[in-house]
Amino acid sequence: MSTGWVVGWVIGIVVVLVVVALVVPILLLARAIGDEAPKINSELEKAVANTAPLGALRTTIEYATTIIGGLQRGRARLGG
């Protein structure tokens, strides 16, 4: 083999090692995130369950507005 081949092989090996050195930490981080994903999903499901009653808040506000309007009309009729 000539010097050019040796240099080519060395450069190729260095490139492969650099790529491996960059990809391995990314894969480890992805695995760590994947390990935490079920815990995150569980907490998000709890949040959905805990905030579900807020969907009825609009109805509560509408009823309260109606009640306040009735109280104001009653007060006006009583001269207050």
C-alpha span between 24 and 35 (Å, rounded): 17
Sorting pLDDT into bands at 50, 70 and 90, what band is 1? confident
Does the predicted model carry a pTM greater than 0.75?
A: no
pLDDT at 80 over 90: no
The string of pLDDT tens digits covering residues 20-30 is: 999 999 999 99
pLDDT at 12 over 70: yes
First vs last Cα of the chain: how many Å apart? 107
C-alpha span between 41 and 48 (Å, rounded): 11
Task: Determine which helix (DSSP H) or strand (DSSP E) holds 40, and give its type and residue range.
Answer: helix 3-51
Pairwise pLDDT comparison (24 vs 56), residue with the higher score: 24
